[in-house]
Structure 1
Amino acid sequence: MSNEIYEMASDLILQGEPFATVTVVRNEAPSSGKTGDKAIVNKTGVLKGWVGGGCVYSIVLKEVTEALDDGKPRLVRVSPTPSNEPSRGVKEYKMTCYSGGEVDLYIEPVMPKPHLVIIGKSIIGRALMKAAKAIDFRLTVINEESNQEVFPEADHHQTAFNLEGISFNKHTFIVVATQGDNDERGLQTALGVKCRYVGFIASRKKRDGVFANLLNLGLSQAQLDEVHAPAGIDINGKTPQEVAISILAEIIQEYRSKEVAFESFSVPIAASGQQRSDLQSGRPQIITNPVCGMPISLGMAKYIIEQNGEPIYFCCDGCKTKFDAEPEKYLMKVEKV
């Protein structure tokens, strides 16, 4: 891989963003992708590297999107003559490019480490940082004293009580570890975003008092019902380290035992840039060409026509010509965007 690909992979890992590596493991001429060619594709469909032309690109986007959803690698074959009985474990697509050729692509998702956001600086919070770091969690610490010298375990420090610039996905967890120091403020911050787990370190009596204050401040009971409070599995822990282990055990249980549908997002910072026009919710938009059955990224369609008020997308001249000759044959296969 070129240095640019390695740099992109390193940056995505540091940012906690999922991506996939794509490698041409076999080719037959005259395919433009050659054995050994590599690329990296991030969750929004940005590709760095080279594995083939437009036909292959759209297939790669579709398969990468699915791989990042299920976390599983896959072997994909693009061939002018796909088999009616493909080999086990191989997903086949028809090569529609006039240049022809055949490529086998190995797509491997690289999923982010679980990400723990700790709001506060309590003793239990500090013990939780150490325990989470020991099992390779990515750590963000939010409190007014957060810096590398005071909290060396953290990967990211934030002194303002907000979540600006932090990326959230199904691997992100928040624990409010304020323990009497800005409890309401910490929980308001945590509940200001959608997150699959929010824990609050407090006794039941303290929880009830803080929750009552938050209801008076305008938070809903439904929001508070989402909070794990007291945070952690009840193991009768007494020391800060034992309580930290109980909290981490609850997070691991949530992380390992449930598959959740969660749309990744980043909390915007002021003056954030515009997203690409062919993206929706940060994901590539893929639709099927009604003629050849190939997946097409909407931003890569060669032709777009309108029929009965609906756009129809084509990947090449040949498909549009066939549609124009017999539109009734293909109209039933048209997907709505």
Structure 2
Amino acid sequence: MHRPDLDVIPLIARLKEAGESFCVATVVRTEHATSAKAGAKAVVLQDGTIKGFMGGSCVQRSIRETAATVLGEGKPRLIRVKPKDEVVSAVDVDGTELHKSSCPSGGTVDIFVEPMRPAPRLVVCGASPVAIAVADLGRRLGYRIVAAALADDLAAFADEDQKVTGFDLTAIGVEADDFVVVATQGRRDREALAAALDTPACYVAFVGSRRKAEVLKAQLAELGLAAARIARLKAPAGLDIHGIEPEEIALSILAEIVARRRAAVTQDVTDVVEDTPRSCCG
């Protein structure tokens, strides 16, 4: 007998290879009569389309609503769909999020909805030794690397990296989940900083001394860049681990990026980042 849920596995592989965002919904427990049984899987696309069998329309509506939230937050959820006359609160006695079902079967189903989003991008501006080290370490940590540098410098980056000639970042569509590190170190610093700060990236950092960063921020203000955008700049980049070599500075920057990325899941990390002295990386 053909099982639709088995078709989900190759679909997941194709979507991940294409860099698509989606959710995987898995039935983990059922009670009484239900259409889908424990172990059933489905893929929920960004537009709410469900690929795979998860039961009737009542369950599907709850899955779509949860998947939209999960994709936005980037955090998985366990939900329980129960007959509506048994739901008296938003959370069950064991802490599981409750959803109402009008299905006449009267069954209960627990569904784990997990986000599958492509790795965030790390945009590295410049081809300095620190820039190369940041790209190399970021790549090994699973980030998608975009290298923006002058034409003659792009060969210094790995072939698998996406490459941008110059510092115009509009074409790559930097998003709020992306990270940008400006490590030009004297080669069109101001141009690269202006482009980086004009993106919605959640993290924009500059590799250079605090004094140099202040001079550049003043110049950007004179050129008309909004104060709110300039205030987003993290300078100097990285945590203070007393790094000297390019690889050590890159480590401090990636450590800060990882901390900020995980802060949405573990709030305590935010406190660590805010309380840690900033590095002075040159």
TM-score calculated relative to the size of structure 2: 0.74
- Name the counterpart of 2:273: none
- Name the counterpart of 1:183: 189
Q: Distance in 2 between matches of 1:108 and 1:133?
A: 24
- Name the counterpart of 2:278: none
Instruction: Give the one of 172, 175, 190 matched to 1:168.
Output: 175
Based on CA coordinates, which of the two structures has the bigger radius of gyration? 1
- Name the counterpart of 1:273: none
Matching of residue 59 in structure 1 with residue 62 in structure 2: yes
Matching of residue 245 in structure 1 with residue 251 in structure 2: yes
Superposed displacement of residue 10, structure 1: 4.1
Matching of residue 77 in structure 1 with residue 51 in structure 2: no
Q: For 2:55, give the aligned amino acid.
A: G
SS in 2 for 1:121: coil
SS in 2 for 1:63: helix
The aligned runs of 1:266-285 (5 Å cut-off) are none
The aligned runs of 1:130-279 (5 Å cut-off) are 130-145=136-151, 150-152=156-158, 154-159=160-165, 161-166=168-173, 168-170=175-177, 172-258=178-264
- Name the counterpart of 1:48: 51
Contact 1:19 1:41 in 2 (8 A): yes
Residue deviations 1:63-100, cap 9 Å, x none? 22333426133142344653669452443333214576
Contact 2:8 2:42 in 1 (8 A): no
Task: Tell me which protein shows more helix as a share of its residues.
Answer: 2
Q: For 1:140, give the aligned amino acid.
A: V
SS in 1 for 2:134: helix
Q: Distance in 2 between matches of 1:14 and 1:140?
A: 17
Q: Distance in 2 between matches of 1:77 and 1:35?
A: 14
Contact 1:32 1:52 in 2 (8 A): yes
Superposed displacement of residue 24, structure 1: 3.0
Contact 2:62 2:81 in 1 (8 A): no
SS in 2 for 1:219: coil
- Name the counterpart of 1:11: 15
Residue deviations 1:275-305, cap 9 Å, x none? xxxxxxxxxxxxxxxxxxxxxxxxxxxxxxx
Q: In structure 2, do the counterparts of structure 1 residues 148 and 179 end up closer, same or farther at CA, with 3 Å as the change threshold?
A: closer
Q: Percent identity?
A: 33
Contact 2:22 2:45 in 1 (8 A): yes
Q: Distance in 2 between matches of 1:214 and 1:40?
A: 46
Residue deviations 1:203-237, cap 9 Å, x none? 23432333233223221233212101221223332
Structure 2, unaligned stretches of length 5 or more? 267-282
SS in 1 for 2:241: coil
* Count, aligned residues: 258
Q: Distance in 2 between matches of 1:136 and 1:93?
A: 35
SS in 1 for 2:171: coil
Contact 1:5 1:49 in 2 (8 A): no
Superposed displacement of residue 21, structure 1: 0.8
Q: In structure 2, do the counterparts of structure 1 residues 28 and 155 end up closer, same or farther at CA, with 3 Å as the change threshold?
A: farther
TM-score calculated relative to the size of structure 1: 0.64
Contact 1:24 1:105 in 2 (8 A): yes
Q: For 1:37, give the aligned amino acid.
A: A
Q: In structure 2, do the counterparts of structure 1 residues 14 and 203 end up closer, same or farther at CA, with 3 Å as the change threshold?
A: farther
Q: Distance in 1 between matches of 2:82 and 2:13?
A: 25
RMSD: 3.4
SS in 2 for 1:234: coil
Structure 1, unaligned stretches of length 5 or more? 261-337
